[in-house]
């Protein structure tokens, strides 16, 4: 049953790649790898945006703060841990 739900939510290319797999676990592992890599890229992009954001002269602090908060919120959604080592 879970296999059917997964298939209906996939795009055609992924359906074709995974249709020979009989077990749900066999389907999920490659998908986790695909999306883990995308998640890693999204984290790096957001961290870069956060670290390179500078307040423009003459702009409002509020706009800068909202921009910084949106980066931090996105990192929280991506389950990114920010500590002194990272």
Instruction: Record the pTM.
Output: 0.56
User: What's residue 56's pLDDT?
Assistant: 86
User: What's residue 66's pLDDT?
Assistant: 93
3-class secondary structure per residue, the chain: CHHHHHHHHCCHHHHHHHCCCCCHHHHHHHHHHHHHHHHHHHHHHHHHHHHHCCCCCCCCHHHHHHHHHHHHHHHHHCCCCCCCCC
Domain-by-domain residue ranges, the chain? 2-77
User: What's residue 69's pLDDT?
Assistant: 94
In a structure prediction context, what are the per-residue pLDDT tens digits for the chain, which is 86 residues long?
565 556 566 656 666 666 666 667 677 777 777 777 778 888 889 999 998 999 989 999 999 999 999 999 999 888 888 777 76
């Amino acid at each position: 049953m879970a296999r059917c739900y997964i298939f209906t939510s996939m795009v055609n290319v992924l359906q074709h790649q995974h249709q020979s797999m009989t077990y749900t676990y066999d389907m999920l592992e490659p998908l986790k790898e695909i999306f883990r890599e995308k998640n890693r890229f999204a984290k790096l992009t957001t961290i870069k945006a956060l670290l390179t954001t500078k307040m423009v002269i003459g702009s409002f602090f509020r706009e800068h703060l909202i921009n910084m908060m949106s980066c931090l919120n996105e990192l929280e959604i991506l389950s990114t841990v920010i500590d002194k080592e990272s």
